[in-house]
């Protein structure tokens, strides 16, 4: 009987200790930190050294801002906001292939379908950025695990990795592959 009481006492103390530690951690008001895959996390350039990107004309500037809007929505796993960004970006282009890709994002509530279309959008926007970036830097980033390990690129105004293909599931998975600078 004494062994049972001793065991119950140890279990009770362990339970109280775990509860106290858990409550203390919960009161920190900090968002949980997503798992970081150290192998894929890389930052190649200090953002403070680079100016924010500017482009040859206001239309291209607006297009890029709406592209970043879509990227941020996908990072946040917000399908409705990605739809909104795609609709806004459509107003600034006459390119039918680009509009078709944007329609896939705007007409879908499925994050995975939006992310697939975003990969195509990134390919098209990279061409636009390369042709019209006049000042500052845009970071081309890559996640090797996206799309069943085929990989996927995206553009960012900062070197810090915020993965639009996985959102908070693997927020930091990726690396900067190239820094596009104004001509």
CB contact at 8 A, 176 and 42: yes
Tell me what pLDDT residue 182 has. 83
CB contact at 8 A, 124 and 101: yes
Domain ranges of the chain: 47-181
For residue 20, pLDDT over 90 is answered with no
Greater pLDDT, 22 or 174: 174
For residue 32, pLDDT over 90 is answered with no
Exposed, middle or buried, 120 (CB in 10 Å: 0-12/13-18/19+)? middle
Q: Tokens 């500037």 correspond to what residue?
A: 61
| Choice among 32-41, 96-105, 125-134 with the minimum mean pLDDT | 32-41
Greater pLDDT, 124 or 37: 124
Tell me what pLDDT residue 115 has. 98
Tell me what pLDDT residue 1 has. 53
Tell me what pLDDT residue 38 has. 31
pTM of the model: 0.73
Greater pLDDT, 6 or 180: 180
For the residues 14-22, what does the mean pLDDT come to?
35
For the residues 109-118, what does the mean pLDDT come to?
97
Which pLDDT band, with edges at 50, 70 and 90, does 33 fall under?
Answer: very low
Closest to 178 (Cα-Cα) out of 144, 124, 142, 132: 142
For the residues 58-69, what does the mean pLDDT come to?
97
| φ, ψ at 109 (rounded to 5°) | -105, 0
Q: What is the mean pLDDT of the chain?
A: 80
Query: Mind listing the pLDDT tens digit for each residue in 68-90?
Result: 999 999 999 999 999 999 999 99
For the residues 90-117, what does the mean pLDDT come to?
97
């Amino acid at each position: 009987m004494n062994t049972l009481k001793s065991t119950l006492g140890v279990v009770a103390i362990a339970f109280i200790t775990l509860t106290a530690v858990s409550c203390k951690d919960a009161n920190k008001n900090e968002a949980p930190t997503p798992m970081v895959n150290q192998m894929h996390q890389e930052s190649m350039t200090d953002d403070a050294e680079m100016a924010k990107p500017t482009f040859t004309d206001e239309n291209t500037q607006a297009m890029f801002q709406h592209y970043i809007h879509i990227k941020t929505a996908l990072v946040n796993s917000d399908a409705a906001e990605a739809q909104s960004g795609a609709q806004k970006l459509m107003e600034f282009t006459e390119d039918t292939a680009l509009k078709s890709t944007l329609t896939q994002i705007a007409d879908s509530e499925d994050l995975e379908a939006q992310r697939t279309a975003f990969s195509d959008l990134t390919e098209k926007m990279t061409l636009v950025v390369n042709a019209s970036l006049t000042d500052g830097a845009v970071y081309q980033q890559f996640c090797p695990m996206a799309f069943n390990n085929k990989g996927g690129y995206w553009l960012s105004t900062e070197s810090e990795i915020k993965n639009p293909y996985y959102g908070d599931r693997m927020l930091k998975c990726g690396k900067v592959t190239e820094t596009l600078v104004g001509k």
